[in-house]
Amino acid sequence: MSKELILYHYPQSPFAEKVRMAMGLKKLNWRSVIVDRIPPRPHLNALTGGYRRVPVLQVGADVYCDTHLILKTLDRLRPDSPALFSNRITQPMCWWWDKAMFVPMIKLRLGLLGDKFSKEWLEDRQKFDPHISFTKEDNEKDIPLNAQRINAHLVWLTDMLDDGREFLLRDSSPSALDITAYHIIWAIKNNMENETKDLLPGLSQPKLVSWFERIAALGHGTNKEMTSEDAFDVAKQAEPTEPTYIENKTKTEWHAGQRIRVTPDDTGRVPVEGILVAADDYEIVLRLTDEKAGNINVHFPRAGFDVIPV
């Protein structure tokens, strides 16, 4: 059975950049499947049961959703490479950064450059996240507010580096927090660096600039492109692995074999239904059966996802 790491992503995605940087930090070999920024994505859709978000990691007939779980999975599957998580602080710190920074970053970009996006992309993202407006007009008036929100967290990030450490949590090596913080700043620099020079003075702090350059130097590991058809064939020729690392100690009203629905609790709220294979406090695994791909195990993190019996 193939143990290749197959990443579905597109170049502009900040969250995909987080996973690509994780591949670089861990010095991994992986296969790259480029998908469209806007659905449909038929092969990926069949493997995930309709899960809307990207990136997605595939290993054989196991599919992993959400970057928080993908990064933990990379550590589990490739323990002989540098660790992304060496302590219990890293995961909640990553959660803080993503939750605090992503929406203000998107809204700031829409306020500054909302007229540069295609109509199709704006319409798709409005469905993806109906809680915010994706028009330039609505976000333009909030440019100072969203810049203020971003700057407040950039100050905290710079404070963490103030003692001279090279990385956010450890002096000697980077962690998942470094690449999580990096990917939002990467998105700002890639898409609106000139427009935010005066708005985001925190980005020009020397220690933050040096840290960003150190993380950028990690690269993306070594990847080779793969078509979605070939990746689908990998799943079709494999069988899902038994998640023996999950001890099923969590006391819930669910039981293995029960039909369960899993839905993101914030954006891209497309539910995925399947048969419960295993669950603990950190992860839930559903078995899906596709008429062409066969049996697939789809893995979700517990944090950030609503789980209910069908």
Q: Classify residue 1: in a domain, yes or no.
A: no
Last residue of a domain, one of 216, 236, 260: 216
The confidence band for 1, taking pLDDT boundaries of 50, 70 and 90, is: low
Q: Classify residue 233: in a domain, yes or no.
A: yes
Last residue of a domain, one of 216, 244, 268: 216
Q: For residue 170, what pLDDT is reported?
A: 76
Distances (CA, A) of 114 to 36, 138, 142: 20, 10, 13
Last residue of a domain, one of 201, 216, 231: 216
Count of alpha carbons within 13 Å of 118, Cβ hemisphere only?
A: 5
Number of domains the chain is built from: 2
172-213 pLDDT, tens digit each: 899 999 999 999 999 999 999 999 999 999 999 999 999 999
Range of the domain at 97: 90-216
207-236 pLDDT, tens digit each: 999 999 999 999 999 999 999 999 999 999
Threshold 0.85, pTM exceeds: yes
List of residues 6+ apart from 118 with CB closer than 8 A: none
Q: In this structure, are 200 and 233 located in the same domain? A: no
CATH number at residue 277: 3.40.30.110
Q: In this structure, are 63 and 115 located in the same domain? A: no
Gap between the terminal Cα atoms of the chain: 32
Q: For residue 172, what pLDDT is reported?
A: 84
Q: In this structure, are 96 and 159 located in the same domain? A: yes
Mean pLDDT over the full length of the chain: 96
CATH number at residue 186: 1.20.1050
Q: In this structure, are 104 and 71 located in the same domain? A: no
Residue 183 and residue 15 in contact, taking contact as beta carbons nearer than 8 Å = yes
Q: In this structure, are 77 and 10 located in the same domain? A: yes
Q: In this structure, are 78 and 134 located in the same domain? A: no
Stretch 90-101: mean pLDDT: 97
Q: In this structure, are 146 and 253 located in the same domain? A: no
